Amino acid sequence: MSDVEALRKELAAAIDAAAGLDELEQIRVSALGKKGRITELMKGLGAMDADARKATGQALNALKSEIAQALEAKKSSFADAELNARLVGETVDVTLPARPEAEGRIHPISQTIDEVVAIFGEMGLSVAEGPDIEDDWHNFTALNIPPDHPARQEHDTFYLPGAGEEDRMVLRTHTSPVQIRTMMAGEPPFRMIVPGRTYRCDYDATHSPMFHQVEALVVDENTHMGHLKGCLIDFCRAFFDVDDLPVRFRPSYFPFTEPSAEVDIGCVRKDGEFRIGHGDDWLEILGCGMVNPKVLENCNIDSTKYQGFAFGIGIERLAMLKYGIPDLRTFYESDLRWLRHYGFSALSAPSMVGGL
């Protein structure tokens, strides 16, 4: 048997018996590497006569490619084996039933926001958002609340440390700055609703330093107070699910609306009982008004051509009234028992068609 044939048998047996990738690599280096045995045999070709050189050269080239192929084949068989072992190890029994503990609840704040958005969405308003950290101009000045205006004190503002009086940042005290952002960013008409977090330095059973509002802004050429009233009366009746719920508009004042009103709904307070609906009492639930022309002008909108209305609703207050939650602070305590009691099923999204 020739040297080449003997080497072929030896290498083939070694590759066949190799136990892993490292061993294969050693075989490759020892056969095909710079000082490998096939390489060494190749170097001997120069000393041979022409016929022997041709025959041995051909045999060595054939051996070289045969060994390279055998190494590759063995290598991929290792990869296949590894993949198969992983697939067996990671088998999932898809016929197992769902885990019983998967029962998260929707927080009443999220539920209330979803309900409000569903009602106004049906009326054609779309959702917009703005930043929680605002500059003084968007939160106050552009809304016609100049630097010395008393409303600034009433807002109990959280100011951020840093910049001077004029350009300091604030945690927004209401969602109204998003009115400004919307009007600055586009062209009328506008029809939008803005749910979001708001911040005021106040804390008791009905106030929290962080709370939620939903703002609405509608601006068009013929928008008038009748639209505002119809929109809010329909909203109150749909939200509290009382078809003939009394709704009252009481004159009020906000710097950014003119005229301004607060909206009350009818309720019953008798012998410790509280119920929303027909009764001899009223309960305030939101602030609203026609957008002050100064605010439109601050946003470069022609107030002789366009008019609008806006309102802001406190979400926690709506949720407390509708779902009988007595203390606002409990909303943020992350108490699981509370959430199981007051929370909502994750699988029933509120809608005007499917119900709120």
Task: Give contact residues for ligand PHE (rule: CB under 6 A).
Answer: 174, 176, 215, 254, 257, 287-289, 310-312
Find the residue with minimal CB distance to ligand PHE.
312
User: Considering the complex, what minimum distance in angstroms separates the CB of residue 309 from ligand PHE?
Assistant: 8
Residue with smaller CB distance to ligand PHE, 196 or 266: 196
User: Considering the complex, what minimum distance in angstroms separates the CB of residue 116 from ligand PHE?
Assistant: 14
Residue with smaller CB distance to ligand PHE, 7 or 310: 310
User: Considering the complex, what minimum distance in angstroms separates the CB of residue 195 from ligand PHE?
Assistant: 13
Residue with smaller CB distance to ligand PHE, 138 or 174: 174
User: Considering the complex, what minimum distance in angstroms separates the CB of residue 173 from ligand PHE?
Assistant: 7
Residue with smaller CB distance to ligand PHE, 107 or 174: 174
Enter the tokens of residue 326.
């007595």
User: Considering the complex, what minimum distance in angstroms separates the CB of residue 253 from ligand PHE?
Assistant: 10
Residue with smaller CB distance to ligand PHE, 25 or 284: 284
User: Considering the complex, what minimum distance in angstroms separates the CB of residue 340 from ligand PHE?
Assistant: 32
Residue with smaller CB distance to ligand PHE, 313 or 339: 313
Residue with smaller CB distance to ligand PHE, 8 or 174: 174
User: Considering the complex, what minimum distance in angstroms separates the CB of residue 243 from ligand PHE?
Assistant: 26
